[in-house]
Amino acid sequence: MKYASQKVAYWFFAAAILLLSLQIVYGLIMGFAHMGYDGLHSVIPFNTARAVHTNLLVVWILLGFMGSAYYIIPEEAQQELVNVKLAYIQLISFLLVGVAAIVGYHLNYWEGRKFLEIPRPLDWLVVINVLTFLGIILATVYKGKKRTTTSLVLTMGLVFAALLYLPGMIWFDNQTMDSFFRWWVVHLWVEGVWELIMGGILAFLLIKLTGVDREVIEKWLYVIVGLTFLSGILGTGHHYYYIGVGKIWLIVGGIFSMLEPLAFLAMALFAVGMYRKGEKKHPNKLALYWTLGTAILSFVGAGLLGMAHTLPQVNMYTHGTLVTAMHGHLAFWGAYGMIVFSFITFAMPNLTGRRLYDTTYGQLAYWLSNIGMLGMTVAFGVAGVAQVYLERKFGMEFGAVQQEIEVHFLVLVITATMFATGITFYIIEFFRFGKPTNEAIGFEETMKKSN
């Protein structure tokens, strides 16, 4: 940490991991319901649990992105955040909107569109909030001494993410139109602009952790985000195969979405390459683990498992089955969950000035959560493939198939418990660091020299 205002990032991270733990609770409720134990049905029916689970996911990831930006931008621009108080207000108001939405979901108050369940009045509050956030970031970049490619790509990702929220707020009578524009938010976020945010954070981490020259890293950053948009924008077509629009999307979506894994492959090769090339003087080895981990698992979860069902011939059968849930988990975790964890792991010693670098708890958190998530992916995958064959190929009735595959949800709950144990270790470790302090200014540099 070099600037006192970076401390605000800590509170975004604390909020993010607390919301993740709540997300896991609702995930387990759904896991048990799939297994046949729906004792909570009258209080928390499945659709409530699901809306809470996925919205908390998006909210904690966004909090992680915002916290990372509040940390990265001052250091890149060589300028304190222009208004720290406003940043705290922005955090608190964001959390309040989130809480209101979640309470609403328990009272049957929502918009009922997958991932965009937040009711319209709260949408507007989100918009105001995000504008405040962007205002602080942009003003800091503008006032700063330097404008680096890393901060440019990161800011661009954040601005586009905000803009792309808007198509999800248009009202349509026609379900096809509704779905068409819902994907401008959901797909163009995760397979477009969020990759810019991820790329920006990854570049910053690699510059810090490997010591490789900034010019080299930022050149590859352009190549990666270039590949992202080149494939990802037209790749949106893989959601337009079967919603009531033309067959041209089968060709365009098929070809371009098959290219999407290239961006993730490039990210993995880039991270591993820079690691090999670097001088490895940085003492924060765990942050390096997480960084390499996210580069590799995002390629597996988003790239390979996305590719597995993206051709129209395959997607015809897997569309809207548990195969999608399999991919959704490892993609979201491997790419966006883990990049946020990488950044928190990197930032904590620097924010608090505590030398908790390669601890047992930190190691346990890393291995248990990642192996747990891989296990969950297998459980969803086996259930999904069985569902595809029994229901879509053999024509068995939905309910009968679900009873057949209940056992895989036992595996899901067991591996999810492992994942949750890892996260628990992470949270304990997080609080062992204590609060951020101004005494930590310059700590990272000192530690690097003494290493």
Contact 140, 171 (CB under 8 A): no
Nearest alpha-carbon partner for 213 in 279, 161, 165: 279
Shortest distance, CB of residue 214 to other proteins, whole angstroms?
10
Name, in order, each residue with C-beta under 8 angstroms of 344's C-beta and a sequence gap of 6 or more: 13, 16, 17, 64, 67, 430
- If the CB atoms of residues 187 and 282 are measured against Fe ion, the closer one turns out to be 187
With respect to ligand HEM, which residue has the nearer C-beta, 261 or 353? 261
327 interacts with, out of ligand HEM, Fe ion, other proteins, none, CB within 5 to 8 A per kind? ligand HEM
Among Fe ion, other proteins, ligand HEM, none, partner that 330 touches (CB below 5 to 8 angstroms by kind): none
Q: φ, ψ for residue 157 (rounded to 5)? A: -60, -45
Can you tell me which of 187, 208, 319, 327 binds Fe ion, judged by CB under 5 A?
187
Query: Least distance in Å: CB of 376 to other proteins?
Result: 14
Provide the minimum distance between the beta carbon of 131 and ligand HEM in the complex, in angstroms, as a whole number: 25
Q: How far is the CB of 445 from ligand HEM (least distance, A)?
A: 33
Nearest CB to ligand HEM, comparing residues 114 and 147? 114
Residue number of the CB atom closest to ligand HEM? 306
Q: Report helix angle 214-235 to 149-163, nearest 10.
A: 20
We find the least distance from the C-beta atom of residue 363 to ligand HEM, in angstroms, to be 19
C-beta of 283 vs 306, nearer to other proteins: 306
CB of 222 to Fe ion, least distance (A): 23
Which residue, 30 or 82, is less far from ligand HEM as judged by CB? 30
Q: How far is the CB of 310 from ligand HEM (least distance, A)?
A: 4
Task: List residues near ligand HEM by CB under 6 A.
Answer: 24, 27-28, 30-31, 34, 50, 53-54, 57, 114-115, 186, 190-191, 238, 257, 260-261, 298, 302-303, 306-307, 309-310, 315, 319-320, 324-325, 327-329, 331-333, 335, 337, 412, 416, 419-420
Question: CA 233 to CA 163: how far, in whole Å?
Answer: 15
Query: Where do contacts with Fe ion occur on this chain (CB under 5 A)?
Result: 187, 191
